[in-house]
Copies of this chain bind each other. A is one copy, B any other.
Amino acid sequence: MKKKRVQEKIKARSVPFSQTRSRHASETAEDYVEAVLDLIDEKGECRVLDLSRFFNVSHVTVSRIVKRLNDADLLYTQPYKPIELTDKGYKLAKKSKKRHEIVLAFLIKLGVDKANAEIDSEGIEHHVSPSTLDAMKKFLK
């Protein structure tokens, strides 16, 4: 059947989209633990309102997401208390931050101006496979 063949061919192209959707699902978690790490570094502690300013969203959005990440054991939070990272969250934050830094440095070395490099690297970092990250590292050397 030629029809079946065509359909299978179309279906075969769905892999990148499935992957991209699954990466989107972890974007928020990665951004948040990375932000918590940064804010603790810079401010000494990380509060809900710090994150709300950092991401430019309402504190309600932040506290809902923080609750979910708490349940996912990525960070630790108690009402009206600063937010801490769990071990798991800290490891993810370190990994994300490193990847983010590489992507940013890569874009700048490629010739992108700093402002655009900062914006684009934030979007791109979540869609970089280990293979692509390696290629970027090699380019940086």
Pick the most buried of A11, A111, A118, A120: most chain B CB atoms within 10 A of its CB.
A120
Q: Is there an interface contact between A19 and B123, defined as CB atoms closer than 8 Å?
A: yes
User: A55 contacts which of B14, B116, B128 (Cβ < 8 Å)?
Assistant: B14
Interface on chain A toward B: helix, strand, loop, or mixed SS? helix
Given A113-B131, A132-B107; A122-B10 close (CB under 8 Å) = no
Given A131-B116, A132-B116; A53-B11 close (CB under 8 Å) = yes
**A46 → chain B closest CB, angstroms:** 10
Q: How many copies of this chain?
A: 2
Q: Is there an interface contact between B129 and A23, defined as CB atoms closer than 8 Å?
A: no
Given A112-B131, A116-B132, A127-B127; A19-B53 close (CB under 8 Å) = no
Say if the beta carbon of A50 comes within 8 Å of chain B: yes
User: Residues on A close to B: CB < 8 A?
Assistant: 6-7, 10-11, 13-20, 23-24, 31, 39, 42-43, 50, 53-56, 107, 110-113, 116-124, 126-129, 131-132, 134-136, 138-139
With A111-B134, A113-B131 known, 8 other A-B pairs at CB within 8 A are A11-B54, A11-B56, A17-B55, A19-B122, A23-B123, A120-B127, A124-B127, A124-B128
